[in-house]
């Protein structure tokens, strides 16, 4: 799957991923109204609204982008119907040829991580039949429990040719509270980065491993250090746009080959129509606003990469 | 909700929690067959099988125990129908008067943690209506992202009178890989424990805070140290039974008042009928085997606490 991700990035010339994190407050009124008319102001109605919102954005951007990253929390908050909307979104994006990174940040003791890996990347056996429950291409994993929390995910990735992005240094303001603590003079995130590089060694695609890392755009200096620690790991970079990261902050997350990183923007793309820069599209044409925001993001990152 | 948990513990005289982690391999053949006859060998069939399995165990144990801890991964592995079985299980346990600890180990950046907190502990607004999507009483939280990943959960707990157990030192063999790393001579898990104590200060019930911690039964010495670091925090102790922890290892997780800890067993209770000690019940009477295993676990812990 890392090869498909890289092929998609080369084809679109866009090392970006659109975060499909649909808060109801981002969904234009006409989309909500239509969903509630059919399903009522219910969990089912909200699930329909976010699914229709996603679909419109995907339809307007899929030819420009290599991948999407639905954040499962935004679906889980609408209970079981929300999880059904998550699954619909995953399937639709795959139909459109996109790589789907499930932002699930799971991680547990061995047997439990194995169940998560089965549910999100693998197949589950039921009697004589087997099923692919959520079937993302990559998922994000929390490493706090150590190797035996991560290995079951790696095992499923090997079987199913899928991949991981393991949290190393997250984009949020308080990420340093534990992740930056020094251990023999070295921050915890570097220690985790070294383990990611090790885990990745036995999981190579061609130039890159299918075991990648998450490093926030908001910490460019740390990104530079981690790029060297994990030369073969793809880095998923959240925090661009709404969280404060800019194209010029991101160049050191990439390798010299122009590959090795993929930058996520969520709000900045999916709620673009709410920004002054794209207000001309209006809520009726929110999909077109998202398309314009994708084009601007690609231009920003490309020009930063070209001028380095 | 911490008061309800403590009241339930005092009433049953059993500081234990039954982990409802239904692997299909634990579900007796007759239960699976019946579910597949109705729904086929499908995700829906598996979800029905684990729900009927849970129901039988709850019906045979609810009067002996204060709380249950469904592990969401075991439901998530069956996709959307699995999540519906999770929700059914939560609701049924609450009807029976049990405190429900959702073992979800979520944790993300602020706005995303807020969505998880809404989905699992809070209520979500949809137009003019509001809903409680999964509605557990407590959830487990992963602290790797620091305060701004945890605070949104705390905010919802304050509003909804619910609670958390934050991962401090997990029960798995490789938990030390990152959690035991020394920071200025102090292991990371102690640093996290100190933060749990701080987070808990503003969240007091009567004697105990509703912000608790997870500390594995498999590390009794660390449990002893952490008990002192977090005197007002309830400790959820996994790893009893199948993972190797015994009653005598657990006494230092408790305070002098006999409170302050609640010990989880999953496989050891729900798959008791597969153990030699309970084989006499046979797969037909698996609920009775679970009841006997609960009684043995309570006796083991009580006698350890009495003889300390």
Cα–Cα distance for residue pair A140/A213, rounded to 1 Å: 8
CA nearest to A243 within chain B: B109
Give the one of A133, A148, A181 whose C-beta lies nearest to B173's C-beta: A148
Mean pLDDT across the stretch A184-211? Answer: 97
Residue B161, Ramachandran bin (φ over 0: left; ψ between -120 and 50: alpha; else beta): left
pLDDT of residue B220: 94
Q: Is the dihedral of CA B155, B158, B162, B163 positive or negative?
A: positive
Q: Provide the β-strand partners of residue B17.
A: B67, B264
Which residues of B are less than 8 Å from A43 in CB distance? 124, 126, 131, 133
Residue A241 has pLDDT above 90, yes or no: no
Of B241, B262, B240, B243, the C-alpha closest to B253 is B262
User: What one-character DSSP code corresponds to residue A272?
Assistant: G
Which residues of B are less than 8 Å from A142 in CB distance? 105, 107, 142, 144
Give the one of A21, A43, A183 whose C-beta lies nearest to B131's C-beta: A43
Half-sphere exposure of A45 (CA within 13 A, CB side): 22
Give the one of B76, B110, B143 whose C-beta lies nearest to A172's C-beta: B110
- What does each C-alpha distance from B293 to A143, A284, B104, B197 come to in angstroms? 33, 60, 25, 33
Which residues, numbered 147 to 186 in chain B, qualify as contacts with chain A under a Cβ-Cβ cut-off of 8 Å? 147-149, 167, 170-179, 181-184
Which residues, numbered 264 to 303 in chain B, qualify as contacts with chain A under a Cβ-Cβ cut-off of 8 Å? none
Crossing angle of helices B79-95 and A79-95, in 10° steps, is 170
Cα–Cα distance for residue pair B190/B173, rounded to 1 Å: 18
pLDDT of residue A248: 85
Place of tokens 């490309």: A302
Which residues of B are less than 8 Å from A240 in CB distance? none
Cα–Cα distance for residue pair A198/B211, rounded to 1 Å: 35
Which residues of B are less than 8 Å from A78 in CB distance? 119, 124, 126, 133
CA nearest to B45 within chain A: A126
Of A25, A57, A52, the C-alpha closest to A289 is A57
What range defines the domain where residue B75 resides?
2-306
Q: How confident is the model at residue A91 (pLDDT cuts 50, 70, 90)?
A: very high
Of B119, B68, B64, the C-alpha closest to B92 is B68
Gap from B236 CA to chain A (nearest CA, Å): 15
pLDDT of residue B101: 98
Half-sphere exposure of A198 (CA within 13 A, CB side): 10
Are B65 and B16 in contact by the 8 Å Cβ rule? The answer is: yes
pLDDT of residue A187: 98
Give the one of A124, A144, A174 whose C-beta lies nearest to B147's C-beta: A174
Q: Provide the β-strand partners of residue A264.
A: A17
Provide the CATH number for the domain around residue B250: 3.20.20.70
Cite the active site residues of A.
105
Mean pLDDT across the stretch A110-133? Answer: 98
Measured from the Cβ of residue A29, the count of other Cβ atoms closer than 10 Å reads: 9
Quick one: which H or E segment has residue B67?
A: strand B67-68
Q: Dihedral of the CA atoms A110, B271, B54, B168 (nearest 10)? A: -40
Measured from the Cβ of residue B11, the count of other Cβ atoms closer than 10 Å reads: 11
Quick one: which H or E segment has residue B8?
A: helix B2-12
Indicate yes or no: CB of B188 within 8 angstroms of CB of A179.
no
Contacts of B77 (CB under 8 A, 6+ apart): A115, A116, A118, A119, A124, A133
pLDDT of residue A249: 85
Give the one of A74, A127, A172 whose C-beta lies nearest to B148's C-beta: A172
pLDDT of residue B248: 85
Are B238 and B217 in contact by the 8 Å Cβ rule? The answer is: yes
Question: pLDDT (tens digit, 9 = 90+) per residue, A249-308?
Answer: 899 999 998 999 999 999 999 999 999 999 999 999 999 999 999 999 999 999 999 988
Q: Find the angle CA(B46)-CA(B90)-CA(B287) to the nearest 5 degrees.
A: 65
Which residues of A are less than 8 Å from B142 in CB distance? 105, 107, 142, 144
Helix (H, G, I), strand (E, B) or coil at B285: helix
Quick one: which H or E segment has residue A36?
A: helix A29-39
Beta-strand ranges (E) seen in chain A are 16-18, 67-68, 99-106, 124-126, 129-131, 138-141, 163-169, 182-183, 186-187, 209-215, 233-237, 261-265
Cα–Cα distance for residue pair B273/A150, rounded to 1 Å: 31
Indicate yes or no: CB of A126 within 8 angstroms of CB of B182.
no
- What does each C-alpha distance from B21 to A115, A117, A161, B68, B74 come to in angstroms? 10, 15, 28, 10, 6
pLDDT of residue B63: 98
Which residues of B are less than 8 Å from A171 in CB distance? 109
Residue B127, Ramachandran bin (φ over 0: left; ψ between -120 and 50: alpha; else beta): left
pLDDT of residue A137: 98
Measured from the Cβ of residue A211, the count of other Cβ atoms closer than 10 Å reads: 30
Q: What is the residue-level pLDDT of chain B in tens, covering all 308 positions?
A: 999 999 999 999 999 999 999 999 999 999 999 999 999 999 999 999 999 999 999 999 999 999 999 999 999 999 999 999 999 999 999 999 999 999 999 999 999 999 999 999 999 999 999 999 999 999 999 999 999 999 999 999 999 999 999 999 999 999 999 999 999 999 999 999 999 999 999 999 999 999 999 999 999 999 999 999 999 999 999 989 877 778 888 999 999 989 999 999 999 999 999 999 999 999 999 999 999 999 999 999 999 999 88
Which residues of A are less than 8 Å from B111 in CB distance? 23
Measured from the Cβ of residue B118, the count of other Cβ atoms closer than 10 Å reads: 25
Q: Is the dihedral of CA B287, B77, B166, B151 positive or negative?
A: negative
Which residues, numbered 7 to 36 in chain A, qualify as contacts with chain B under a Cβ-Cβ cut-off of 8 Å? 21, 23-24, 32, 36
Cα–Cα distance for residue pair B107/B149, rounded to 1 Å: 6
Contacts of A66 (CB under 8 A, 6+ apart): A5, A8, A9, A11, A12, A14, A15, A16, A17, A98, A99, A262
Provide ipTM, 2 decimals. Answer: 0.97
Indicate yes or no: CB of A143 within 8 angstroms of CB of B147.
no
Indicate yes or no: CB of B176 within 8 angstroms of CB of A41.
no
Pairing between β-strand B138-141 and β-strand B163-169 as defined by DSSP bridges: parallel
Q: Is the dihedral of CA B110, B113, B114, B115 positive or negative?
A: positive
* Range name among A117-126, A147-156, B202-211, B299-308 with the lowest pLDDT average: B299-308
Indicate yes or no: CB of B42 within 8 angstroms of CB of A131.
yes
pLDDT of residue A307: 87
- Cα-flanking dihedrals φ and ψ of residue A299, to 5°? -65, -45
pLDDT of residue A59: 98
Crossing angle of helices B79-95 and B43-61, in 10° steps, is 20
pLDDT of residue B42: 98
Give the one of B76, B109, B133 whose C-beta lies nearest to A77's C-beta: B133
Quick one: which H or E segment has residue B160?
A: helix B147-160
User: Which residue pairs, CB below 8 angstroms and at least 24 apart, start in A87-90?
Assistant: A87/A134, A87/B79, A87/B80, A88/A51, A89/A20, A89/A51, A89/A54, A89/A58, A90/A134, A90/A135, A90/A136
Interface test with B, best of A72, A83, A104, A239 (most B CBs within 10 A): A83
pLDDT of residue B245: 72
Overall domain count for chain B: 1
Gap from B11 CA to chain A (nearest CA, Å): 31
Which residues of B are less than 8 Å from A144 in CB distance? 142-144, 167, 170, 178-179
CA nearest to A44 within chain B: B126
């Amino acid at each position: 799957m890392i090869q498909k991700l890289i092929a998609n990035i080369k084809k679109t010339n866009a090392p970006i991923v659109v975060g499909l994190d649909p808060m109801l407050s981002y969904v234009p009124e006409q989309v909500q109204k239509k969903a509630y008319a059919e399903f009522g102001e219910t969990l089912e109605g909200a699930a329909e609204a976010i699914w229709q919102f996603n679909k419109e954005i995907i339809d307007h951007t899929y030819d420009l982008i290599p991948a999407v990253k639905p954040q499962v929390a935004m679906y889980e908050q609408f209970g079981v119907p929300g999880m059904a909307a998550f699954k619909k979104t995953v399937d639709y994006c795959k139909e459109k040829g996109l790589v789907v990174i499930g932002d699930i940040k799971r991680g547990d003791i061995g047997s439990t991580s194995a169940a998560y890996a089965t549910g999100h990347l693998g197949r589950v056996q039921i009697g004589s039949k087997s099923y692919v429950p959520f079937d993302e291409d990559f998922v994000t994993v929390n490493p706090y429990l150590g190797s035996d929390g991560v290995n079951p995910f790696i095992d499923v990735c090997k079987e199913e040719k899928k991949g991981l992005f393991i949290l190393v240094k997250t984009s949020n303001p308080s990420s340093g509270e534990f992740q930056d603590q020094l251990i023999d003079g070295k921050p915890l995130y570097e220690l985790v980065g070294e383990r990611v590089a090790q885990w990745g060694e036995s999981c190579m695609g061609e130039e890159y491993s299918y075991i990648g890392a998450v490093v926030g755009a908001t910490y460019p200096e740390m990104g530079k250090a981690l790029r060297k620690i994990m030369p073969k790991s793809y880095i998923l970079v959240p925090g661009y746009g709404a969280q404060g990261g800019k194209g010029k902050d991101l160049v050191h997350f990439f390798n010299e080959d122009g590959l090795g990183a993929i930058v996520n923007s969520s709000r900045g793309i999916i709620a673009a129509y709410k920004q002054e820069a794209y207000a001309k599209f209006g809520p009726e044409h929110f999909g077109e606003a998202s398309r314009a925001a994708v084009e601007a993001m690609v231009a920003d990152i490309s020009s930063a990469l070209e001028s380095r």
